[in-house]
Structure 1
Amino acid sequence: MRTSQSRARASSPVRSMLRTSLLLSAVSVPVITLGAWLLRGADGMASALIGAGVAVAFFVVGGLGMRAVIAGEAALSMAGALVVYIGQLIALVAVFLVLRGADWLDGRAFAAAAIIQTLVWQVGQVVGFRRGRHEIYPDVTLPSGS
């Protein structure tokens, strides 16, 4: 049985996934914002920037939350992941409620930017996971001759 101490030392792919996704986001958010400005004007640009920003914040909070869950007890991983997900959804609903009455908000630009940024983030997570180093059996001790 694994202990929380051995899990905390185990390598997690989440760091690599966050780093790669943030790097891709640093490139994609300005491109998305520029595209929205060209297609929808100033309100579209602001809406796209907020939509992409909300998507990035959503995934960063989830990634950091999962990093904390992975470092904890193995028996609590699924419950911890559910708590992180519910927390993300509550925050997302709060953002939507705040922005609901904004007259300047261009809903199409906001939604398009959020969807595009979500796809960019997913690509970043897959690439980051594949490039990340993870221990498959962190509790196994190799012989000293190896």
Structure 2
Amino acid sequence: MSHRTAASSPVEGMLRGVVLTGCLGTLVLATAAWALAGEKAGYSALAGALAAFAVILLGVIGMSFIIRGNAGLTLPGAFVVYIGQLILLVGVLLVVRGQEWLDGPAFAVCAIVQTVLLQIGQISGYARARHPLYPQEEAR
């Protein structure tokens, strides 16, 4: 008698990778900016890192809903989520632009670095997640 383990969605691994990378990246980036350029840069770096973290995290959560649906809509859905993330991040930048507390370069650099780190965490989480290679065979 064989025992089959139910494969989990790759989104769970992606979510884990984003959360771990996001928490660590936020802490390191804000601390580094504070140490290198002062309090204003530290707060701005914190805001940039948290903004990127929130946007990417919302995207992964959005993907979890898309993956549950029709398999044919997964790729177009991922594209819509990606475009939505870009629009949301630019929207955040436009909202905070011109604030007295904002150090623009610190915010932008940390948002960009955090986004790259989060993408690495997301890809790493996907690669480590257990998911079926041929989901059609599980339906049999």
- What TM-score do the two structures reach when normalised by structure 1? 0.81
* Number of corresponding residues: 135
Q: 1:130 is matched with which residue?
A: 127
Gaps of 5+ in 2: 1-5
- What is the CA-CA distance between 1:28 and the residue it aligns to? 2.0
The runs of at least 4 consecutive aligned structure 1 residues that moved more than 6 Å come to none
- Consecutive unaligned residues of structure 1, counting only runs of 5 or more, are 1-8
> Residue in 1 aligned with 2:3?
none
Where do 1:34-49 residues align within 5 Å?
34-49=31-46
How does 1:1-146 map onto structure 2 within 5 Å?
11-141=8-138
The alignment yields a C-alpha RMSD, in angstroms, of: 2.2
CA shift for structure 1 position 132: 0.6
Q: State the identity as a percent.
A: 48
Answer yes or no: is the 8 Å Cα contact 1:66–1:84 preserved in 2.
yes
Provide the rounded CA distance (Å) in 1 between the counterparts of 2:138 and 2:49.
44
| Structure 1 residues 67-100: Cα deviation after superposition (integer angstroms, max 9, x where no partner) | 1111101222233223323332332232122111
CA–CA separation in structure 1 for the residues paired with 2:104 and 2:98: 11
Q: One-letter code of the match for 2:120?
A: V
Task: Give 2:24's aligned amino acid.
Answer: V
